[in-house]
Amino acid sequence: MLDWFGQGAQAVLALGYLGTYLALVIEGLGLPFPGDAVMALYGLAAANGRFHTGPLIFISIGGYLTGAVISYGLSRYFGAGWLDRWTSSHMMNFRSLERTTSMLNKYGPLLLVPGRFLPGVRSVSSYVAGAVRMEFSSFFLYTGIGVIAWCAGWIFLGFWFGEHLEFILHTLQSYSLYVTGALIVLAGAFWVIRRRTRTPHEPN
């Protein structure tokens, strides 16, 4: 697995927990970065005794949330026009931004949980949440749930199945759209059910 990543893997691992934090800040900012593969690599390194799993997960979550909150704050402060300038300069994918905006308007903050596992949505969802002025408490709660699941999931995947990780990564990335689509449908169904149960019945 380390040979698959090449010398870059050794450079990242050599930075220790600080490298973990910085790598996940980059991921949280939505910059081009193979976050899922890197997290699985950290899981494999933990299995080999180079990291402790608990601190690794905790620091990863902290780094990701740092990047996500910065992304949200920048977009909320500068507004949707700022994102338009980014897309016009090709710094951000317009189709990903448009699709994520549509999905966020439809499913609300619940999208931020399964959206962490969907490429394209993951990289821009924090920016879109800020641009539409989502309440920070909702953003942080649902982003936090998604980040915890994403970080822990990839680390444990690398920890338990590291020797076969190249095949697993290829398989999961091939079917990620279908899996995430199913998660979004389930999240939408949960949102509809919860909203109906909270809506008071009209008197006859």
Confidence bin at 157 (pLDDT 50/70/90)? confident
Which is more confidently placed, 6 or 91?
Answer: 91
CA atoms within 13 A on the CB side of 187: 21
At residue 128, the pLDDT reads: 92
Share of the chain above pLDDT 90, in %: 37
pLDDT > 90? residue 163: no
Token reading at 66: 């740092």
Q: Pick from 186, 116, 103: which is nearest to 150 by CA?
A: 116
Determine the residue type at 80.
Answer: A
Q: Residue 75: exposed, middle, or buried by beta-carbon count in 10 A (0-12, 13-18, 19+)?
A: buried
Mean pLDDT, all residues of the chain: 80
Q: 3-class DSSP state for residue 204?
A: coil
Q: 3-class DSSP state for residue 191?
A: helix
Which is more confidently placed, 113 or 199?
Answer: 113
Domain ranges of the chain: 2-198
Confidence bin at 87 (pLDDT 50/70/90)? confident
